[in-house]
Amino acid sequence: MRTLVWFIYFWGYMLLHLSDLRRGTRALEAGDWATADALAAEHVPHWANRLLKLAGVTVTVEGLENIPKGRPCVFAGNHRSYYDIPLVLTQLDAPHGLVSKKEVAKLPLVRGWMRLLHCVFLDREDPRKAMAALNEAIDLVKKGYSLTIFPEGTRNKGAEGSLLEFKSGAFRVATKAKAPIVPLAITGSRDIMENHHMFMHPAHVTIRVLEPIETEGLTKEEIRALPQRTADIIAAHLPADSGNR
- Cα 29 from Cα 98, distance rounded (Å): 20
What pLDDT is attached to residue 160? 93
Q: Is the pLDDT of residue 217 over 70?
A: yes
- Say which residue, 102 or 96, is predicted with more confidence: 96
pTM, to two decimals:
0.94
Q: How many CB atoms lie under 10 A from the CB of residue 221?
A: 7
What pLDDT is attached to residue 124? 80
Domains of the chain: 56-235 (3.40.1130.10)
In the chain, what percentage of residues exceed pLDDT 90?
87
Q: Is the pLDDT of residue 114 over 90?
A: yes
The model's pLDDT over 151-173, given as tens digits with 9 standing for 90+, comes to 999 999 999 999 999 999 889 99
Average pLDDT over residues 84-103: 94
Q: Is the pLDDT of residue 225 over 80?
A: yes
Establish how many alpha carbons lie within 13 A of residue 134's alpha carbon, considering only the half-sphere containing its beta carbon.
Answer: 19
Q: Which of 22-31, 103-112, 215-224 has the lowest mean pLDDT?
A: 103-112
Q: Is the pLDDT of residue 245 over 60?
A: no
When pLDDT is cut at 50, 70 and 90, the band that residue 123 belongs to is confident
What pLDDT is attached to residue 103? 87
Average pLDDT over residues 48-72: 97
pLDDT mean across residues, the chain = 94
What pLDDT is attached to residue 242? 46
Q: Which of 44-53, 97-106, 122-131 has the highest mean pLDDT?
A: 44-53
The model's pLDDT over 179-199, given as tens digits with 9 standing for 90+, comes to 999 999 999 999 999 999 889
Residues in the chain: 245
Confirm if 58 and 90 have CB atoms less than 8 A apart: no
The model's pLDDT over 11-29, given as tens digits with 9 standing for 90+, comes to 999 999 999 999 999 999 9
Confirm if 41 and 90 have CB atoms less than 8 A apart: no
Contacts of 187 (CB under 8 A, 6+ apart): 160, 161, 205, 206, 207, 208, 238, 239
Q: What is the DSSP letter of 195?
A: G
What pLDDT is attached to residue 244? 41
